[in-house]
Amino acid sequence: MMDLSKYVADLICFFRRLGIRAFRAMGGGGGGGAEEELTAQETALYDRQIRVWGVDAQKRLSKAHVLVCGVNGTTIEFCKNIVLAGVGSLSLMDDHMVTEDDLNSNFLIPHDESVYGGKSRAEVCCESLKDFNPMVRVAVAKGNPSLIDGTFIDMFDIIVVSCASLKTKLFINDNCRKRSKHIAFYSVECKDSCGEIFVDLQDHSYLQKKPGGEPEQQELKYPSLQEAISVPWKDLSKRTTKLYYAMRVLESYESSEGRDPGETSLSDLPAVLARRKDMCDRMSVDESKIPTSLLERLLAAGKKEHPPVCAILGGILGQEVIKSISCKGDPIKNFFYFDDADGKGAMEDIPPTS
Amino acid sequence: MASAAAPASSEEAVKAAKVLMVGAGGIGCELLKTLALSGFSDIHVIDLDTIEVSNLNRQFLFRKSHVGQSKAHVARDAILKFRPNINIESHHANVKDAQFNVDFFKQFNVVLNGLDNLDARRHVNRLCLAAEVPLVESGTTGFLGQVTVHVKGKTECYECQPKPIPKSYPVCTITSTPSKFVHCIVWAKELLFAKLFGDKNQDNDLNVHSKDGSSSKSDVFERDVDEDLDQYAQRIYDHVFGYNIEVALENEETWKNRRRPNPVYIRDTLPEAVKQNGSSRDCSNDHEEPSAMASLGLTNPQEIWTLAENSRVLLEAFKLFFEKREKEIGNLVFDKDDQLAVEFVTAAANIRAHSFGIPLHSLFEAKGVAGNIVHAVATTNAIIAGLIVIEAIKVLRDDYKNYRMTYCLEHPTKKLLLMPVEPFEPNTSCYVCSETPLLLDVNTKVTKLKEVIDKIIKSKLGMNLPLVMIGSTLVFEDGDGLEEDEAANYALNLEKVLAELPAPVINGTKLTVEDFQQELSCSINIKHREEFDEEKEPDGMVLSGWSAPVEKQINSNGENKSAASSSSAHATDDTVEDPSKPGMKRKLDELLETKENCDASSSAQVVEDDDDCTMLDGNPALIKKKRLQ
Ligand SMILES: [Zn+2]
């Protein structure tokens, strides 16, 4: 974790500078609760979006620090969106070397090995993202998501995890929950034409827009990832999307086989069907809850991401992160699913709030 | 198109496709990227616009160094940098140009719209119908968005359902009886600003109150020879905010049921300015762009200025135009990106608002109203672009059973943030995609052909280069390439009243109007009528028998239903609330509320100058499923 400590020092230095900027902007006029105003440059650049979410939200955004673990087509869409929106900083963690597979859905990697050769996904994408908005600090955070610790996590307000094992996701989610600081956790996976987003905002209070009235303060209490995936299936509504169950089967199969996420193919179908039977028996539900055809699609997808679906998931996730930072608008609680086959983008609340 | 064969695989269909993207703005940038990633390799892009700073927060293919350059070209170059092996052709042009005719459209397998205005959307719809090319249409406003599919004969066309059109305000509301801030903005921008800094030869309703009896001058807005700039500025101020209001107050009839406005004079709002006359501050701290806010030390565009501050800004902006931008005076047109113009208009609108007891607004808010600014974020555009590509792939595979219109919602409705809905069948009374004749009530004895062409054929029917025939007599044709004598003849006809045209138009006459470029032809049956309600039927003509755009009525007594009541069967759906969908009602109200944000324009507004304007139509809640055959 040598790299990480240098990174931490670097980031702390950056925060200090931010602090100085904030102090100066207050104009030394004796405080009086005067909040830092947006600069003329910020107002001009963010004009259209300030008209959507307001100045206060824009100020909060500019102070938020986001960590993305796992760089793929979907998270890069998300990164583009929040860099354009003007978050304070974005850190990318993904030491995997770029391969040809990454070119399929990641628009930040050029088709030119001389550019990406020998570089990590985070490094290649970091350079392009910086270009999108000079006012956002984009940095590479070297390291392994399955090893990150509390002091590191404390530097962020938002952590997004993708292409990580269930174990890693649980580990990071658990870590976020242990900190005294409020850290929002998101995980996102795109399996070709299907996608899943998980959200854990712990205790979240926000302003809910009321049509024709004053906004109202709302409180939400989120379950952890562990809680959200351990709910007895027979307690869930009949209308719960089949994708929720299918993703749990796949996740469980990958974990027990020690596979990397998405490292599956149609040849795994018999074993996955056995896993389905096993889980359904244990949960006392009928196997028909999880259609074989859906499992086939997910297995065939492997690591493939369908670019339009990346754009949709990255867009929804970007919007959610903006909502959670600004504490404005109803956030997703706590899963979101998209399936190209029926075109629906639906939320699921699991376990259901009674 | 309608082949019985099994749909081709997505990959094959995508690889073989040639697509046209109209618009390279907010949705366009996202769309071009997603198309390129999805394997599309033959793409044409048309966009008329150049890049502006306020685009950069979402149009991610553009950088600060590109400001002023063509969106279409820069977007193309940006995509080719990371996907050099695909073919993108960019056109920095208006999609309504003659080069983009039906033959041009025919070369594409699908057309994808990422447009910002109703006019261009209608035009592309007609060309797609004529060329029989499927159209995927889209729009966003803030967190809301929609994608719809239009395939001739299978689904409704873009114009089958009523569309919201920009609001217009009666002239007298603007000149005499404003009741909302937007009325003051329209007055400030289109009357005062235009009068002082724009083309002097333009008709301007501000002249109504400029008959200053005490003055021998022909135009009080002219600067006297040797008149000091401060004096001139204060004289104009007193004239438009003081004297004109006093004149208006004399007409007791107007104020019977209205709050009387207060005249505002500079001696009351800025007593010190009158004394300090001539002692102009040194504003030589050279700002690149002259700004009244900057020279007055006002920094926060979100703040609402006092009457005195507004007055100071107005005088300062006025002077800066004369001191720093004198060459442009006489040619200026209000532009939301012109800081000094926005400052002037904000201050003038606020002073007028004060006079009429209307709440004042910040420069930021005033700019939004004055510039018709559409609320826009990157995330919605990205989602909508993804949905467009998904629909485009279905269209290419001829997978019409799965075509969907998709609504992107801000708040989940029945758990859905992305709500797919089956498309409608074509509306059999749509004048664009069916052959239903229209009906025009008009006084044929007083109405000139020109008025029918401008107010009905061009503005309501959205024709570009119309041709008008009465029986077999051609009375008018638009466009280049006319013989001199033809052109002269048509010019004469334009000024004639309908009943006196070479082929007289009277009660029962049938007009045929055509636009060759759009390959659109329709018939209009004439009904002679002599009386029109000036308030409710200001055009002196009423067109019916078509899906009228939904215009927000200014007077709300609900009687003006001439257009709405005659619109298609869909109109009745609007009153039905599906009881199985609780919570839907709220959603709809919000959709409708937001929609208004994008058409806060005025009568004289012709240009919608920002991208991504949504035309939210077909309320998702009210949609009755009509399976496609
Ligand atoms: Zn139609």
Shortest Cα distance from B62 to chain A (angstroms)? 8
Residue A13: which pLDDT band, with cuts at 50, 70 and 90? low
Q: Helix or strand or coil: residue B98?
A: coil
- Interatomic CA distance for residues A83 and A318, integer angstroms: 10
Binding residue ranges of B:
23-28, 47, 55-58, 71, 116-121, 157, 160, 430, 433
Q: What is the pLDDT of residue B546?
A: 59
Going from the C-alpha of A161 to that of each of A3, A185, A223, B36, the distances in angstroms are 20, 8, 17, 26
Q: Which residues pair with A61 in a beta bridge?
A: none
Residue B124 CA, ligand 1 centroid: distance in Å: 13
**Is position B2 within any domain?**
no
Question: What are the chain B neighbours of A338 within 8 Å (beta carbons)?
Answer: 418
Q: Which of B380, B372, B387 is nearest to B142 (CA)?
A: B380
Residue B614: which pLDDT band, with cuts at 50, 70 and 90? very low
Token pair in block for residue B253: 């009839």
Q: Provide the chain A residues 96-155 that lie in CB contact (below 8 A) with chain B.
A: 104-105, 107-111, 131-134
Residue A336: which pLDDT band, with cuts at 50, 70 and 90? very high
3-state helix, strand, coil in chain A (%, to 5): 50, 15, 35
Q: Is the pLDDT of residue B414 over 80?
A: yes
Shortest Cα distance from A9 to chain B (angstroms)? 30
Shortest Cα distance from B122 to chain A (angstroms)? 25
Shortest Cα distance from A36 to chain B (angstroms)? 11
- Interatomic CA distance for residues A103 and B226, integer angstroms: 70
Token pair in block for residue A276: 């389905």
The domain in which residue B522 lies consists of: 438-544
Instruction: Find all residues with CB under 8 Å of B402, minimum gap 6, and list them.
Output: B394
A307 vs B34, B81, B376: nearest CB: B34
Question: What are the chain B neighbours of A212 within 8 Å (beta carbons)?
Answer: 589
**Per-residue model confidence as pLDDT tens digits over A257-286:** 999 888 999 999 999 999 999 999 999 999
**Per-residue model confidence as pLDDT tens digits over B286-344:** 556 889 999 899 988 889 999 999 999 999 999 999 999 999 998 898 988 899 999 99
B339: nearest CA partner in chain A? A44
Q: Which of B382, B314, B391, B388 is nearest to B348 (CA)?
A: B314
Residue B481: which pLDDT band, with cuts at 50, 70 and 90? confident
- Interatomic CA distance for residues B452 and B539, integer angstroms: 9
Going from the C-alpha of A69 to that of each of A93, A128, A309, B135, B335, the distances in angstroms are 5, 17, 19, 39, 44
Q: How far is CA B73 from the centre of its chain?
A: 25
| Torsion sign across C-alpha atoms A70, A71, A73, A76 | positive
**Is position B3 within any domain?**
no
Going from the C-alpha of B126 to that of each of B104, B456, B548, B569, B588, the distances in angstroms are 13, 17, 16, 21, 29
**Are the CB atoms for B193 and B348 separated by under 8 Å?**
yes
- Interatomic CA distance for residues A50 and B383, integer angstroms: 19
* Same-domain pairing of B394 and B515: no
Q: Is the pLDDT of residue B274 over 70?
A: no
- Interatomic CA distance for residues B385 and B400, integer angstroms: 20
Domain limit, last residue, from B510, B544, B578: B544
CB atoms within 10 A of CB B104: 18
3-state helix, strand, coil in chain B (%, to 5): 40, 15, 50
Is A211 an 8 Å CB contact of chain B? yes
**Is position B176 within any domain?**
no
* Same-domain pairing of B400 and B446: no
Residue B617 CA, ligand 1 centroid: distance in Å: 14
Q: What is the pLDDT of residue A6?
A: 62
B387 vs A307, A312, A346: nearest CB: A312
Q: What is the DSSP letter of B510?
A: E
**Per-residue model confidence as pLDDT tens digits over B54-92:** 888 788 999 889 999 999 999 999 999 889 999 999 999
Shortest Cα distance from A150 to chain B (angstroms)? 31
| Alpha helices for A119-187 (secondary structure H) | 121-132, 150-153, 166-178
Q: Helix or strand or coil: residue B561?
A: coil
**Per-residue model confidence as pLDDT tens digits over A31-89:** 333 356 778 788 878 888 887 788 888 999 999 999 999 999 999 999 999 999 999 99
- Interatomic CA distance for residues A139 and A82, integer angstroms: 14
Q: Provide the chain A residues 147-206 that lie in CB contact (below 8 A) with chain B.
A: none
- Interatomic CA distance for residues B436 and B429, integer angstroms: 6
* Same-domain pairing of B207 and B299: yes
Mutation target to probe the B interface, by most B beta carbons within 10 A, among A26, A42, A48 is A48
* Contact criterion met (CB < 8 Å) for B411 and A330: yes
* Contact criterion met (CB < 8 Å) for B379 and A316: yes
**Are the CB atoms for B364 and B302 separated by under 8 Å?**
yes
Number of DSSP helices (H) and strands (E) in chain A, helices first = 13, 10
* Same-domain pairing of B539 and B550: no
Q: Is the pLDDT of residue B363 over 70?
A: yes
Q: Whole-number mean pLDDT of chain A?
A: 88
* Contact criterion met (CB < 8 Å) for A311 and B383: yes
Shortest Cα distance from A178 to chain B (angstroms)? 30
* Contact criterion met (CB < 8 Å) for A338 and B418: yes
Q: Is the pLDDT of residue A331 over 60?
A: yes
**Is position B364 within any domain?**
no
* Contact criterion met (CB < 8 Å) for B34 and A311: yes
Residue B428 CA, ligand 1 centroid: distance in Å: 8
Question: What are the chain B neighbours of A37 within 8 Å (beta carbons)?
Answer: 299-300
Residue B429 CA, ligand 1 centroid: distance in Å: 8
- For residue B544, the one-letter residue type is S
Mutation target to probe the A interface, by most A beta carbons within 10 A, among B37, B146, B588 is B37
State the CATH number of the domain containing residue B309: 1.10.10.520
Q: Is the pLDDT of residue B445 over 80?
A: yes
- Interatomic CA distance for residues A80 and A78, integer angstroms: 5
**Is position B24 within any domain?**
yes
Token pair in block for residue B229: 């700039």
Token pair in block for residue A206: 């926000």
Q: Which of the pair, B171 or B43, is modelled with greater confidence?
A: B43
* Same-domain pairing of B74 and B107: yes
A322: nearest CA partner in chain B? B379
pTM: 0.80
Angle subtended by helix axes A307-326 and B378-396, to nearest 10 = 160
- Interatomic CA distance for residues A251 and B88, integer angstroms: 41
Q: What is the pLDDT of residue B257?
A: 84
* Contact criterion met (CB < 8 Å) for A311 and B30: yes
Residue B431 CA, ligand 1 centroid: distance in Å: 7
* Mean local confidence (pLDDT), A320-328: 93
Residue B176: which pLDDT band, with cuts at 50, 70 and 90? confident
Going from the C-alpha of B523 to that of each of A177, B88, B129, B257, B450, the distances in angstroms are 69, 40, 18, 44, 18
**Is position B629 within any domain?**
yes
* Same-domain pairing of B274 and B297: yes
Residue with tokens 């447009």: B115
* Same-domain pairing of B396 and B484: no
**Per-residue model confidence as pLDDT tens digits over B93-123:** 999 998 999 999 999 999 999 998 888 999 9
Q: Report the DSSP pairing between strands A344-348 and B416-421.
A: antiparallel
- For residue B479, the one-letter residue type is G
Any idea which of A190-194, B100-104, B571-575, B624-628 has the lowest mean pLDDT? Answer: B571-575
A129: nearest CA partner in chain B? B60
| Torsion sign across C-alpha atoms B469, B470, B474, B476 | negative
Q: What is the pLDDT of residue B166?
A: 60
Dump the DSSP string for A236-289.
S-TTS-HHHHHHHHHHHHHHHHTPPTT---GGGHHHHHHHHHHHHHHHT--GGG
Q: Which of the pair, B411 or B402, is modelled with greater confidence?
A: B402
Q: What is the pLDDT of residue B293?
A: 92
* Residues of B that are catalytic: 172
- Interatomic CA distance for residues B152 and A301, integer angstroms: 34
State the CATH number of the domain containing residue B479: 3.10.290.20
**Are the CB atoms for A171 and A198 separated by under 8 Å?**
no
Q: Is the pLDDT of residue A3 over 60?
A: no
- Interatomic CA distance for residues B139 and B151, integer angstroms: 18
* Same-domain pairing of B303 and B318: yes
**Is position B367 within any domain?**
no
* Same-domain pairing of B226 and B158: no
* Mean local confidence (pLDDT), B256-283: 75
Q: Whole-number mean pLDDT of chain B?
A: 80
- Phi-psi map region of B332: left, alpha, beta (phi>0 left; psi -120 to 50 alpha): beta
Is A270 an 8 Å CB contact of chain B? no
Q: Is the pLDDT of residue A196 over 70?
A: yes
Question: What are the chain B neighbours of A309 within 8 Å (beta carbons)?
Answer: 386, 390
Q: Helix or strand or coil: residue A23?
A: helix
* Same-domain pairing of B540 and B552: no
* Same-domain pairing of B156 and B54: yes
Domain limit, last residue, from B519, B544, B569: B544
- Interatomic CA distance for residues B141 and B152, integer angstroms: 27
Q: Which of B405, B426, B399 is nearest to B153 (CA)?
A: B426
Is A302 an 8 Å CB contact of chain B? no
Residue B426 CA, ligand 1 centroid: distance in Å: 6
A-B Cβ pairs (cutoff 8 Å, strict):
169
A77 vs B36, B54, B382: nearest CB: B382
Q: Report the DSSP pairing between strands B520-528 and B416-421.
A: unpaired
Q: Is the pLDDT of residue B18 over 50?
A: yes
How many domains does the structure of chain B reveal? Answer: 3
Dump the DSSP string for B359-395.
PP--HHHHHHHHTTPPP--HHHHHHHHHHHHHHHHHH
Residue B587: which pLDDT band, with cuts at 50, 70 and 90? very low
CA angle A130, A132, A137 (to 5 degrees): 35
Question: What are the chain A neighbours of B594 within 8 Å (beta carbons)?
Answer: none
Q: Provide the chain A residues 10-39 that lie in CB contact (below 8 A) with chain B.
A: 37
* Same-domain pairing of B195 and B297: yes
Binding residue ranges of B for Zn(2+):
157, 160, 430, 433
**Is position B319 within any domain?**
yes
Domain limit, last residue, from B514, B544, B574: B544
Domains detected in chain A:
2-226+305-348 (3.40.50.720), 230-301 (no CATH)
Q: What is the pLDDT of residue A10?
A: 61
